[in-house]
A and B are shown apart, each in its own frame.
Chain A
Amino acid sequence: MIRFEQVSFRYADTAAPALQGVDIEVPEGELCLVVGPSGVGKSTLLGAVSGLVPHFTGGHLTGRVTVAGRDTRTHRPRELADVVGTVGQDPLSHFVTDTVEDELAYGMESLGIAPETMRRRVEETLDLLGLAELRDRPIATLSGGQQQRVAIGSVLTVHPRVLVLDEPTSALDPGAAEEVLAVLQRLVHDLGTTVLLAEHRLERVVQYADQVILLPSPGAPPVVGAPADIMAVSPVHPPVVALGRLAGWSPLPLSIRDARRAAGPLRERLADRTPGTSGPAAPGELLVCAERLGVRRGRVEALRGVDLAVRAGETVALMGRNGAGKSTLLSTLVGLHTPAAGTVTVGGAVPHRTRPAELLRRVGLVPQEPRDLLYADTVDAECAAADRDAAAPPGTCRGLVAELLPGIPGDVHPRDLSEGQRLSLALAIVLTASPPVLLLDEPTRGLDYAAKSRLVGQLRALAAAGHAIVLATHDVELAADLAHRVVILADGEIVADGPAADVVLSSPAFAPQTAKVLAPAPWLTVTQVTRALEATP
């Protein structure tokens, strides 16, 4: 169905090739997963299938890419629109019309499909994706998961034989991600659609893949094979694979079910051990305190009666559905929203009544899109500005950047940094004023496992140094790895607040893979298991 023959690709303004020696065939009806660290060219590979590379991006492509027998060199993306459906990373930039039903019909209208057929297919797709309730809603009012489903639906109505998806679940909460993956499963099994999918959160998708394409490093030829074989050597892998490698299971399990079947001996070995205690060494002073907090955004009550207390040295993970009020809570803590009810104090100050320059010393927030914090043309200029904003001695911010992630050059534009580097820069800027309270909104979106584990290390060190950290995240593995306490928000209210282990173990949606494999014992992360096994042979 998709065939790459000796394909190399180089962007116009770079010397090194983005892809090299790609020789792949994806047969019809397969779910094929593209994995690799960030910046290795996964999006480029996907773009080459839909023809956007090189028709839209420019650059130089050698070799041949054919999709359903059509050469992408001679067919522009619009001429491939009836065989390839593409959904990019951000569903919002994909929408042309403004209501769900029109959006589903848009692609078919462009292809000139007969009105009766369109009508039937829209109804079928609404049912297939569970969107019937939303058919005449404006797209702007939908949640992230719903938007992702509409984006998939909008390319499905054309009945493409190939579906190309770039990180379809990265921005979604665990429940919404399951919804989207269930739909993809159905397409592959019921309609024989070929799906090509890139994703960082392998724990969510790898068990569904028929074939995995691993791009080990930029410009290196890809390795193609069965998921279990590739995962055995891949530098990026989900926790269940890490556990399998650690315990030496063969064949390597990819799903929780397979892992549990193999895990009997491991559970016995671990039976008389307990995971290291989680929790700060000693509870410090109370830094964040919200009582009966209520916040309204327009006509919507975004938060209701929220009580939250965070002490120095503590790390708290806020979890919950898209739109549950996590970001609103963080924004309220830095004074971006004025509470409608209740009180909030952060580091002794009332955030919405404190001047920004003063508040900077008490609390810092790294927003969902770290790029929003960056204005300057170079990293060095950004750091100098941060020193001035915080009235810190010159060089403070640059020093922090070097400490957090060595090797970020000073003269590059912040936009040209990788996601992980950009996050480290934003973190350093916020830390320049040395606020005792640090807030992070969805910090692992778009990060690969290596960048994620670096972030975990950085945040652990900060917590140990006495910072109070609150992070909003959908990433159950991150929360299990890092948080002392987990707070679950639903519909603007706190529905659970307790030690991380207790909260995540009590709900399957929020339990990390290690916990599911080793239940009922309270192991949360592979690191814990490794340490326990090393401690006593």
Chain B
Amino acid sequence: MTPPTPPRTGRPGANLHAGAWWIWALGLATAASRTTNVLLLALLTAVAGYVVAARRTDAPWARSYGTFLRLGLAVLAIRLVFAIVLGSPIPGTHTLFTLPEVPLPGWAQGVRLGGRVTAESVVFALRDGMKLATLLVCVGAANSLANPARLLKSLPGALYEAGVAVVVAMTFAPHLVADVARLRAARRLRGRDDRGVRAMLQVGLPVLEGALERSVALAAAMDARGYGRTADVPPAVRRTTAALTVGGLLGICAGTYGLLAAGGAGAGYGLPLLLLGLAAAVAGLRLGGRRSPRTRYRPDAWGARAWLVAGSGAAVAAAMIAAATYAPAALDPPAVPLAAPTLPLWPAACVLLGLLPAVAAPKGALR
């Protein structure tokens, strides 16, 4: 018997920038949000799934894809159940079956429980749910292909510490699951059943206690290792930073309002104000980074492969947005009357562009 090869997270020096994977995945997600065509959505899911299968590693976070897939299915199921039980505003003529309707008091007007279930409403819910599920699958793909902690390396210095807090919080979920499993095993040792609501409740308190103790220990360890050290900055720089950040944020708010306000009242100053605010905020963040003396160990390089991976995702998104304007019927077929979905040729071909990373990304060298 050959010993199992130890899991590896990447060959040193050949990592793809984590941001490239996220841009690719968000590109696919954007494309998914533009269509309710079941065939296109299925194609997007298949593309994301194939790339994950071809390029993921054995690292613990790479196993999260399955979780996201199950989550997507759960979302789909919940959406369907809601459409069946609560009814749907979609007018339909093909009645599948009729649930007993629960009479509701007058104040619950507009809400329906049970009643007629039409094929149209089910199809509509199915498509809607599938769109959400595809979005989740795309995020899951990014999560399993790129370690979320690696993204931190690309954050501006001023935001780094907040980022670490977020990542530490995210790693807590797996620890909690492990704790619950251990304590449920311990319940068996006391001769109690390890299933049921009562068991979960009794295990809950010790699990939370353990989580709290662990977070205090981790905070102490991080502090002792220099987390949160600040460099001395002249007061002038500190004041400029504060002014730039606050001014920038105000500018962004006012600019966004101007752009979105009805009637185009502020259309004239909206865009320039938004850009100005953005510039000021970025400058504030960069200046704020001076307070943190932190340096980066082997940051991911953005190379040709990263351009290809990110570009393929962006291309899929752009193609789908363009398609939505010139062929809206193909991407968003009406639920009434019922019709079998057709696969629009050009958008489908564009979605296949998303397969590029399966070839372009370095194999087994991902983080």
Residue positions of A touching B, CB distance < 8 A: 50-52, 55-56, 76-82, 84, 86, 88, 90, 93-94, 96-99, 101-102, 105-115, 118-119, 122, 135-138, 140-141, 154-155, 158, 299-300, 331, 334-336, 356-357, 359-360, 364-365, 367, 371-375, 385-386, 389-390, 429-430, 433
Contact = CB atoms under 8 A, between A and B. Distances in A.
A76 B229 CA distance: 10
B171 interface: yes
Given A78-B227, A115-B296, A138-B60, A98 B149 contact: yes
A331 B61 CA distance: 27
B223 A76 contact: yes
Nearest to A358: B191
Interface string B45-76: 00000000000000111000000000000000
Given A111-B293, A137-B8, A52 B222 contact: no
A375 to B, nearest CB: 6
B191 A359 contact: yes
Given A122-B297, A371-B206, 8 more contacts: A50-B224, A51-B224, A55-B223, A356-B193, A360-B191, A372-B182, A375-B205, A385-B190
A356 B195 CA distance: 11
A204 to B, nearest CB: 24
Interface string B140-168: 00000001010000000000000010001
Contacts of A111: 226, 229, 293
A389 B192 contact: yes
B186 A84 contact: no
- Which one of A93, A122, A137, A390 has the greatest number of beta carbons of chain B within 10 Å? A93
28 contacts: A76-B223, A81-B226, A88-B221, A93-B214, A96-B164, A96-B227, A98-B59, A98-B61, A101-B297, A102-B297, A109-B297, A111-B293, A112-B229, A112-B293, A112-B294, A115-B295, A136-B11, A137-B8, A141-B6, A158-B225, A356-B187, A356-B191, A356-B194, A357-B193, A360-B190, A372-B185, A390-B191, A429-B190
- Which one of B185, B187, B202 has the greatest number of beta carbons of chain A within 10 Å? B185
A92 B59 CA distance: 17
A336 B185 contact: yes
Contacts of B191: 356-357, 359-360, 389-390, 433
B92 interface: no
A88 B164 contact: no
A389 B218 contact: no
B295 A373 contact: no
Contact of A93 (B190, B202, B218, B231): B218
Interface string B10-33: 111000000000000000000000
Given A79-B229, A96-B168, A141-B6, A367 B223 contact: no
Nearest to A368: B182
B225 A375 contact: no
Contacts of B214: 93
Interface in B206-232: 206, 214, 217-229, 231
Interface residues of B, number: 52
B94 interface: no
Interface string B67-105: 000000000000000000000000000000000000000
B307 to A, nearest CB: 23
Q: Which 5 A-B pairs have the closest CB atoms?
A: A81-B226, A112-B293, A360-B191, A105-B297, A110-B226
Nearest to A136: B9
B185 A138 contact: no
A93 B221 contact: yes
Contact of A94 (B9, B149, B221): B221
Contact of B189 (A105, A140, A299, A373): A373
B12 A135 contact: yes
B196 interface: no
A96 B4 CA distance: 27
Given A76-B223, A79-B229, A154-B225, A119 B295 contact: no
Nearest to B227: A110
Nearest to A299: B4
Given A110-B229, A334-B189, A389-B192, A77 B223 contact: yes
Nearest to A94: B221
B39 interface: no
B188 interface: yes
A55 B220 CA distance: 10
B234 interface: no
Contacts, number: 171
Nearest to A96: B222
Contacts of B297: 101-102, 105, 108-109, 115, 118-119, 122
B279 interface: no
A88 B217 contact: yes
Contacts of A137: 6-9
Nearest to B178: A140
A118 B168 CA distance: 23
Contacts of B12: 101, 135-136
A348 B227 CA distance: 56
Given A81-B225, A389-B192, A140 B60 contact: yes
Given A99-B9, A336-B185, A359-B191, A112 B295 contact: yes
A436 to B, nearest CB: 15
Nearest to A82: B226
B192 A356 contact: yes
Contacts of A79: 229
Contacts of A81: 224-226, 229
A51 to B, nearest CB: 7
B211 to A, nearest CB: 11
B183 interface: yes
Nearest to B219: A56
Contacts of B193: 356-357
B8 A386 contact: no
A79 B231 CA distance: 11
A98 B7 CA distance: 13
A99 to B, nearest CB: 5
A113 B217 CA distance: 25
Given A138-B9, A386-B190, A96 B225 contact: yes
A106 B161 CA distance: 13
Contacts of B4: 299-300
A477 B220 CA distance: 34
Contacts of A365: 189
A364 B295 contact: no
Contacts of B220: 52, 56, 77, 88
A52 B224 contact: yes
Contacts of A98: 59-61, 147, 149, 171
B298 interface: yes
Nearest to A52: B220
A273 B344 CA distance: 94
A110 B225 contact: yes
A385 B192 CA distance: 11
Contacts of B222: 96
